[in-house]
Every structure is written in C-alpha cells, then in structure tokens.
Amino acid sequence: MIELGHLAAFLALAASLAQGVLGLTGARALAGRAAIVAFAVMSLSFATLLVAFAQSDFSLALAVNNSHTLKPMIYKLAGVWGNHEGSMALWCLVTLGFGAAGALWMRTGRDVFEARALGVQGWLATGSLAYLLFASSPYLRLDPAPLQGAGLNPVLQDVALASHPPMLYLGYVGFSFVFALAAAGLIDGRIDRAWAKEARRWALAAFIPLTIGIALGSYWAYYELGWGGWWFWDPVENASLMPWLIGAALLHSVVVTEKRGSFAAWTALLAVLAFLFSIMGAFLVRSGVLTSVHAFAVDPKRGMLLLGGLVVYGGLALCLFAVRAPKLEGGKPWQMLSREGALATNNVVLVVAALTVLLGTLFPLIAEATGRTISVGEPYFRLTFVPMLAALLAVLPVVQAWTWGKADLSGVWKWAAGGVGLVAVFLLLGVSLWDIPLGAAFGLALAIWLIFGALWEVRRRAVTLARVLRLPLRVWGMTLAHIGLGVFIMGAVVETTQRYEATLALPAGGSGTVAGWHITLKDVHAVEGPNWYADKAVLTARKGSIKAEMAPTKRYYPASRMPTTETAIHKTGGGDLYIALGDRRDVDGETRWVFRVYFNPLIDFVYLGVMLMGLGALFSLVPARRRRNAP
C-alpha cells in the first residue's frame, strides 16, 4: 500500500508538470484536466499514509517516528502531518487541491488567462512535489519493521493542534493560487476589474482558514503550555501573522481594483508578497534558524532548500512584476482624501506592520551574525507594532464612509469631536473608577469606537431600519469583521493589563487566595491514560456563592520521554480562572505542590473577536444574488 502511495505521488508530480507546461502554452482544458488528475492521485497517496498510521504499519519509517499503538485514533491520524515529511505531503495536497478547485470553479471568460494561472500553479506544485519526493520523502520503509513506534510529540497530542496545521496550510497554500492569478495577470498585462473579482474570492478562501488556524494555535498555546497567555510574539507565531497582515492588505486593495480599476500594480505585488511570506513562514518553522516552542522537525539542510525555493519563486515573480507592472493600466483619478486614499493608507500601514514583525523576528539572527546576542520580545512589538495599528484603527470609522474619488469632509469634525469625547470619558473612568493604565483606557475607547463605527456604517448604508436586513452579505461581512476587531481589542486590552497571576505552594488540605478566589488542594494522585501517566491535582475554587472543582495534571509520555502540562480552566463569563500544576517540593518535611494560578479577564473576547472576523470574511465570500430588472 505504501508503495502504491509512493507511485501515486510520482504520478502527481508528472501530472502537475504537465499542468505547468500545458497551462503556460494556453491549453485551458488540458491544463484543467491535468490539475484534477494531479489532485486525485495525490489524494490517493496521502490516504495511504493515513491508513498506514491508522493501522500502525511500522514498516513505514514516518509511522515509527511519529506514532504508537496505544495512541487514540485522532492522534494517530494527526501524526501524519505532525512532522516535517508528513506536513510537506499535506502542503503538496493542498497546493494541488487549489489547482483542481481553480480548474473547476475559475470562470473569468478569459481562457488563456485561466490556463496561465493553472500553469503557474502547476509549476508551484511541481516544485513542492519535487522537494517532497527527493529531499523529504514520507514513504521511506524499514526492514525489519519494529514492533513499536516512538509516538507523536506529546505537545501535538491535542485536538486544537491536530486541526491547526491543516487550517494554517489552507491559508498559506491558498495564497499560492492568488500568486498564480497575479503572475498570469502580469503575463497578460491585464490586472483589471475582472481579475480583481476573481482574485478577491481566492484571497478570501485563503484568509479565512489562515485566521482560524492562527486562532487555534493561539488557543492551544493558551491552555496547553501553562504560560497563562494567548500570544507571546514567538517567532513561529510571527511567521503566521506576517502573511495574515499582507493578506488583510490584499483584501482591502483588491476592492479598489475591483470597484475603480485602480491599484492594479500594487494589488498584484501584494498577491505575490502574501505567498512569499507564507513560504518564509514554512522556512522559519523548519529550518532551525529560529528557536520556538512551536517549531518542529527542524533540519537546516532541508530548510535551505525551502529558502532556495523562496528565492527562485520570489525572484522570478518580482522580475516579472518589474517588467510588466509599468505597462498596467491605471484606474479612475482619485485624491488622497477619498476612499481610495484611505485604503492606500490602510495598505501602507499593514505592510509596514508586517515588515516590523519581520525585523523583530529576524533581528536576533542579524545580531548573532555580528557576534552579539540580542533577544527581541514583547516590549519591542508593544512600542512599534501596537501604536501603528492603533492609529490606523482610530480613523477607520471615519474613513469607511468616504466616497470614491473625493470624500465629503463636511462631517469630519463631528467624528473628531465624538472620538475625542469618547477617549476623554474612558481616560477619566480609568483614572477614577477602574484604576487601569492610560494605555488600557485608550484601548477600551478604541474598541468601543470600532464597534460603534461598524454599526453606524450599517445604519448609513441602510438609511431606514426596514432596509437593514436587505443589505448585501458583503456589507454584513465588513461589519462583522470590524466589530470583531473591536471585540478582539477589548479582550486583548483587558486581559493583558488586568491579568492577575500568583504562585501557590500547597500541601494536601492547604488553601490560598488569588484574585478573590479561595483555592483549596484536596489531594494529588496518579492517573494513567492510553499512552501516558500523570499526577492529577484536585482543587476546589470558591468565590462567594460560586464553587468549582478543578483538576490540572502533569503528564509524562514514556514513549517519547516528554512531560506536558494540562491546565484546568474554569470560565466565569467575565474571565478564566486558570491553574497549572508545577513541581512537588518538600518544605520542612511537608510535601507541597506548586501551582501557577491566573485570572484572565475577558479572555474569551479575544477568540470571539477572531471568530467574528473569520465569519465576516466568510460572509464576504458568498456571491451576491443578482436582483431582477437591476440596471
């Protein structure tokens, strides 16, 4: 069966190569068929890996290194992509999947353009499959086969992280098809409204799963690692944030190209950059150049091959852009104080923000090359990234109502007065009643400002209450995304500035108080799971009439010889009481257990905001229904 999967992967390579050649020669129908065949045989190949893991076929080296007979089935299957070779097989599958989807659903009425887009996607798939088969093969066999496997990395044995890589790859690789559309448009010399309409759909199809994937990774880190926070500016977190920022800029820029025909060259460049940043993310995770708790399967040699692919694809695309971009037609004239000007500013800020994250991520490497050791952490990003985004979001409710070409500025003073008044109210409340930092008060004012601005835009577009429900889904998508931003900022500001944390060392029956919660340790006893054993603490948490029993554990996986922390979280509606079990200590002959206890207020608002942003993008992806007798 594994040999069948290996053969199928080579057939996928041949079909994707045919797709690339036929597509660039303009054979739309043949390139489309090749794309579908390539995806079909790669699906068969990937399925053989899934079956091998499900059956614990330890003649497959990949299964030996990443599976175990005692693992639950979901983690056996997740073991396929929980490593370098398997994750690259998933990358190839998704790349070919987007090519097949493009062959089936891309309908622009321009066959040569569509053929070239499929051709570029075919060459991208060819490069990925060649890397998989000749530098990172998941099909290697062992003879004799061992009786048992080493098991999946314990920190990956989690439902959120099992689904995190597939969602992240749908986003990363989804931008490959937007890249292909940009390259085809540049070859044709036509980045126009029809192109933008098509590119917008595929950009949304990549942006939505990338958003969900980042949220899943953040939530996994929150409850699995025991650090008590939801974002750490870790290099691998940054690797996924950068293409997300470029993708957000692309989604705003492509609207201008679709509606007005402007920003053609800039939109094409953003489409190229979104995918290049995605490849860079794969390089950072796998090359070993950066240290991260999220990084896995680091291999400098194979990482350099990924870097070579980034240089080749990026160099060719940027050379094509340099040659063809000056020949693209411009759109209608516009002034800086207009919707086009506002979206241009939006794009510049988002791109600069992505470059700021890139600099903070890579600067330790640059410093190390000069013989110095420098770490870049949260203070850098708080001083650079946060003010930049805050300034952009502060003007969002004002400029989203501006018209194309030239904005009517007669009502700007009202918005300015309202914004200043809102900030003043929150600053006064922060100083007098809430006792929070001034920055937190400004952040809360900004969150309310964004939510109000999004709702006001709905009112402005609907004019009357009766027409609110008749607004297009695209408008509701924008509204939900902007409300989600406000909810996210509210949760992030409150959780970051008002988080309470403490360390308790408790004997059996001992108690302590954290953030108004009276916590009592009942006992700590040993428990055993399918492929692990653990110390499990049982605690009672009380606050007024509220009582909760919490059971954090510390697991140990014998197969991989690694421990993990399983936190206990009690949700109160206003925040999370969060407890992580630490080490056992003997103090004056008495056994005590160390607990890290946090109260994280409004933490759920962080993830609710991200969900609303993803839902808004999904609404925007739904095609608008044409009205009868519409002009």
* Residue-wise pLDDT tens digits, 212-263: 999 998 998 888 877 778 888 888 889 899 999 999 999 999 999 999 999 9
| Tokens 């992505």, located at residue | 354
Q: How far apart are CA 461 and CA 472, in angstroms?
A: 10
In this prediction, residue 310 carries a pLDDT of 83
Q: Average per-residue pLDDT in the chain?
A: 89
In this prediction, residue 630 carries a pLDDT of 43
Tell me which amino acid residue 571 is: K
The answer to whether the beta carbons of residues 175 and 275 sit under 8 Å apart is yes
In this prediction, residue 374 carries a pLDDT of 80
Does residue 628 carry a pLDDT above 50? no
What token pair was written down for 407?
Answer: 């904005």
Does residue 291 carry a pLDDT above 60? no
Does residue 294 carry a pLDDT above 80? no
Higher-scoring residue by pLDDT: 179, 70: 179
Q: How far apart are CA 272 and CA 180, in angstroms?
A: 8
What token pair was written down for 451?
Answer: 């939510």
| Tokens 């075919």, located at residue | 122
Q: In CATH, what number does 1-157 get?
A: 1.20.120
Query: SS3 for 315?
Result: helix
Q: Determine the average pLDDT of the residues in 425-446.
A: 85
pTM: 0.92
CATH architecture under which domain 500-605 falls: Sandwich (2.60)
Domain ranges of the chain: 1-157, 163-397, 398-498+611-621, 500-605
For the chain, the straight-line distance linking the first and the last C-alpha, in angstroms and rounded, comes to 58
Query: SS3 for 144?
Result: coil
Q: Is 527 left (phi over 0), alpha (psi -120 to 50) or beta?
A: beta
| Tokens 């040569």, located at residue | 112
Does residue 349 carry a pLDDT above 80? yes
Query: SS3 for 299?
Result: coil
With CA atoms as reference, report the closest residue to 375 among 361, 364, 387, 388.
Answer: 364
What token pair was written down for 161?
Answer: 């992280």
In this prediction, residue 117 carries a pLDDT of 97
The answer to whether the beta carbons of residues 57 and 63 sit under 8 Å apart is yes
Lowest average pLDDT, out of 67-76, 176-185, 197-206, goes to 67-76
Q: How far apart are CA 490 and CA 228, in angstroms?
A: 18
Q: How far apart are CA 29 and CA 11, in angstroms?
A: 19
Q: How far apart are CA 287 and CA 305, in angstroms?
A: 9
In this prediction, residue 47 carries a pLDDT of 97
Q: Which residues pair with 579 in a beta bridge?
A: 568, 597
> How far out from the chain centre does Cα 589 lie?
49
